[in-house]
């Protein structure tokens, strides 16, 4: 049994080493760039605040209600979990869900936490400020 597993592991390792990972990453990034997420003006403003770029003025805090609205406008279903946790489930079943915590005692998300949310959304879904467009 061990010999079979070892040979399978070696075959898998060889196969992984032969793959050109730069091509795989490039093709996945191209697919992510092409997909535009159409959102309302209100949600677009929230996402531009979260995905702040260097040439913009420093953003302020984001109200939690605006964050919920923006994520639902981007196609997520939202479920309140235990305590301050909220689960955001994407419409695409192949993508993973993500959890964010509601700020308290304030109802606004502080700037450092907003930046953290942006990094997590970028890591999970490949989002930047670019894929968002206005609905007509």
Q: Range of 115's domain? A: 36-134
Q: How far is CA 108 from CA 61, 125, 136, in A?
A: 6, 23, 28
- The values of phi and psi at residue 38, to 5°, are -85, 120
pLDDT for the residue numbered 8: 61
Local structure of 85: helix, strand or coil = strand
The verdict on 30 and 41 lying in the same domain is no
The verdict on 41 and 7 lying in the same domain is no
The verdict on 11 and 68 lying in the same domain is no
Q: How many domains does the chain have?
A: 2
The verdict on 22 and 89 lying in the same domain is no
92-124 in b/e form (b: 16+ CB < 10 A) is eeeeeebebeebeeeebbeeeebeebbeebeee
- The values of phi and psi at residue 78, to 5°, are -120, 130
Per-residue model confidence as pLDDT tens digits over 36-62: 778 888 888 888 888 876 656 666 789
Q: How far apart (Å, rounded) are the C-alpha atoms in residues 16 and 11?
A: 9
Per-residue model confidence as pLDDT tens digits over 3-34: 555 666 666 566 655 655 555 555 555 445 55
The verdict on 98 and 60 lying in the same domain is yes
pTM above 0.85, yes or no: no
The verdict on 53 and 115 lying in the same domain is yes
């Amino acid at each position: 049994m061990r010999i079979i597993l070892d040979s399978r592991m070696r075959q898998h390792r060889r196969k992984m080493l032969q793959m050109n990972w730069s091509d795989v990453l490039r093709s996945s990034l191209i697919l992510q760039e092409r997909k535009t997420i159409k959102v309302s003006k209100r949600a677009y403003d929230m996402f531009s605040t979260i995905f702040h770029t260097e040439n913009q003025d420093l953003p302020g805090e984001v109200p939690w209600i605006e964050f919920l609205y923006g994520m639902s406008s981007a196609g997520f279903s939202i479920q309140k979990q235990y305590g301050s946790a909220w689960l955001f489930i994407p419409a695409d079943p192949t993508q993973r869900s993500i959890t964010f915590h509601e700020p308290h005692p304030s109802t606004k998300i502080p700037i450092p936490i907003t930046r953290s949310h942006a990094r997590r959304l970028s890591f999970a879904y490949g989002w930047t400020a670019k894929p968002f467009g206005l609905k007509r």
